[in-house]
Amino acid sequence: MAKAQSIDKPILVLFRTDLRMADNRALSAAAATGRPVIPVFIFDEESEGVRPVGGARRWWLHQSLSALGHRMAALGAPLLLRRGPMLEQTLAMLEETGADMVLWNRRYDPPEASIDAEMNTALGKTGIRTLDFDGHLLHDPSLLKTGSGGPYKVYSPFWRALIAEAEPRDPVDAPSQLRPFAKALASDSLDDWALMPVKPDWSGGFRSAWTPGEDGAQARLRDFLDGPVSGYGESRDIPGAQGTSSLSPHLANGEITPFQIFSALKSGKIDAPSHDLEKFRKEVGWREFAYHLLFHNPDLRNANFNDRFDDFPWKPDADLLRRWQRGQTGYPIVDGGMRQLWQTGWMHNRVRMIVASFLVKHLLIDWREGEKWFWDTLVDADPANNPASWQWVAGSGADAAPYFRIFNPILQGEKFDPDGTYVRRYVPELKHLPARYIHKPWESPKAELEQARVKLGDNYPVTVIEHQNARKRALLAYKAI
């Protein structure tokens, strides 16, 4: 009798940074019990330590939840939406539904991981069973250790250790059906969460660039593996080409897992040199490394990994920061990057490195300002990749680029965007300039500027700082520490 009862008891499945149905082990495990499944997304920005989601990711979240909601409804178990502290909302749902099990996929952002640990304890005490699963990462950051038992601080040995472990597991299929819960349950309305920008609605460029949701993620992966992955080793550095996968926002929102990516890469059906496939795997490995660093340095977005940088003589300057944010520095590749970010919520990795280096080294503005801006404006804003990459560029990070290696924005532009395709796309006021001046319009003869209708200081800014002076100033500042 007791058995018959428990088979009808529903199971709660919590959705958070795993907005997918395939390779969602929590969902599949719940479906496999044959018991009613109640999927619920709890939007928690209230629990202690949780960083509010930035503007660009709010837009993404709305779209992605809407896509997931449609798919869930088609399987008969509508996705419920609730907002508030994770534990409080889960307890309320348990009370309402009589569920005796809660399943979720693990999160690795330290405040979120602590909430989940607390949930385990609190729910356990009330006799509720909890189960958690992998999916977001290939490795568990708490388990991978160096020979001496500590965390990895250098990428290459980390990567070697990671791939020396067992092959990543195969992804699990999406459940083909879910047993619905008999009673109708209240859900928030997605529109009421007001995640989308209204006045002004800046999301036009986002809509044309992205298809949030699991289907969009799988389509990106297929497109990438059908084409750009071949040659990835070189083309990944060319911002004017579609040379990378653009999977980062899908990964950040858990619409696709690294297990699915690794499995697709070894399918044997991809027409690409093995070194390109390996390079791509290694880039996904940087994401694992960033989470490893974050796990062992939970305050990565505030505290320098290398504390020598605590005394760095930053020069805060609100006006220069604003010009950088708006893409008005007078350096075309920097401005192109910042405008791509503003228009599409994403920026090419090579250009992220250039603009970050420019902020930190040319303008001597604290990397944390850049991290915050990216957090708000990137659709792939990620609690590990973002601070780890900012610290990498600033020189304060683990296995970081040395501070004294200062990117020259002109040479970087000429090398990686030689004909100016990228700059012309995002800095249209320069689009008629000949390639030899596109990265240094100030060197262009007057007649050429006139012909290209460029008026420096008028429709395109003069440089906010001269490169060689900036370089000398940055090196002096570095000497101080």
User: How many other C-beta atoms are found inside a 10 Å radius of the C-beta of residue 447?
Assistant: 8
Q: Is 17 in the site for ligand FAD (CB under 6 A)?
A: no
* Cβ within 8 Å of residue 270, ≥6 positions away: 225, 229, 264, 277
Cβ proximity of 134 and 257 under 8 Å: no
Residue 77 or 225 having the CB closest to ligand FAD = 225
Long-range contacts of 113-119 (CB under 8 A, 24+ apart): 114/49, 115/44, 115/47, 115/50, 115/86, 115/87, 116/86, 118/87, 119/86, 119/87, 119/90
At its nearest, how many Å lie between ligand FAD and the CB of residue 348? 6
* Cβ within 8 Å of residue 443, ≥6 positions away: 437
Residue 120 or 349 having the CB closest to ligand FAD = 349
Stretch that binds ligand FAD, among 43-51, 174-182, 199-207, 386-394 (CB under 6 A): 386-394
Residue 346 is among the residues annotated as catalytic for this protein: no
d(CA 387, CA 294): 9
Q: Which of 37, 61, 99, 290: binder of ligand FAD (CB under 6 A)?
A: 290
Q: Is 284 in the site for ligand FAD (CB under 6 A)?
A: yes
Q: Which of 63, 377, 385, 444: binder of ligand FAD (CB under 6 A)?
A: 385
Catalytic residue among 59, 60, 210, 286: 286
Task: Please name the helix (run of DSSP H) or strand (run of DSSP E) that holds residue 432, with its range, or none.
Answer: none
d(CA 420, CA 23): 41
Q: Is 374 in the site for ligand FAD (CB under 6 A)?
A: yes
Tokens in use for 335?
Answer: 């401005």
Q: Which of 93, 137, 247, 438: binder of ligand FAD (CB under 6 A)?
A: 247
Residue 41 or 289 having the CB closest to ligand FAD = 289
Residue 63 or 389 having the CB closest to ligand FAD = 389
Strand partners, 133: 105
Closest by CA position to 85, among listed 41, 47, 42: 47
Rounded to whole angstroms, what are the CA distances from 128 to 98, 117, 125?
Answer: 10, 14, 7
Q: Among residue numbers 207 through 236, which ones bind ligand FAD (CB under 6 A)? A: 236
Q: Which of 287, 301, 424, 467: binder of ligand FAD (CB under 6 A)?
A: 287
Catalytic residue among 118, 283, 442, 448: 283
Helices (H) and strands (E) in the chain, counts: 21, 5
At its nearest, how many Å lie between ligand FAD and the CB of residue 221? 10
At its nearest, how many Å lie between ligand FAD and the CB of residue 30? 27
Rounded to whole angstroms, what are the CA distances from 235 to 71, 242, 345, 407, 464?
Answer: 35, 8, 21, 20, 30
Stretch that binds ligand FAD, among 104-112, 281-289, 299-307, 402-410 (CB under 6 A): 281-289
Residue 359 or 423 having the CB closest to ligand FAD = 359
Q: Is 394 in the site for ligand FAD (CB under 6 A)?
A: no
Q: Is 251 in the site for ligand FAD (CB under 6 A)?
A: yes
d(CA 395, CA 364): 13
Residue 214 or 429 having the CB closest to ligand FAD = 214
Rounded to whole angstroms, what are the CA distances from 41 to 19, 121, 248?
Answer: 9, 21, 21
Only one residue has tokens 């792939």, namely 380
Residue 390 is among the residues annotated as catalytic for this protein: yes
Residue 382 or 417 having the CB closest to ligand FAD = 382
Q: Which of 225, 353, 379, 452: binder of ligand FAD (CB under 6 A)?
A: 353
At its nearest, how many Å lie between ligand FAD and the CB of residue 359? 9
Rounded to a whole number of angstroms, the distance between the first and last alpha carbons of the chain is 72
Q: Which of 103, 195, 393, 400: binder of ligand FAD (CB under 6 A)?
A: 393
Residue 349 is among the residues annotated as catalytic for this protein: yes
Strand partners, 12: 38, 102
**Strand 129-133 to strand 11-15: parallel, antiparallel, or no bridges (unpaired)?**
unpaired
Stretch that binds ligand FAD, among 136-144, 203-211, 372-380, 459-467 (CB under 6 A): 372-380
Catalytic residue among 193, 306, 349, 448: 349
Q: Is 400 in the site for ligand FAD (CB under 6 A)?
A: no
Q: Which of 24, 105, 244, 463: binder of ligand FAD (CB under 6 A)?
A: 244
Strand partners, 455: none
Which chain residues interact with ligand FAD by CB under 6 A? 236, 244-248, 251-252, 283-284, 286-287, 290, 349, 352-353, 356, 374, 378, 380-382, 385-386, 389-390, 393
Active site residue ranges: 283, 286, 314, 349, 367, 390
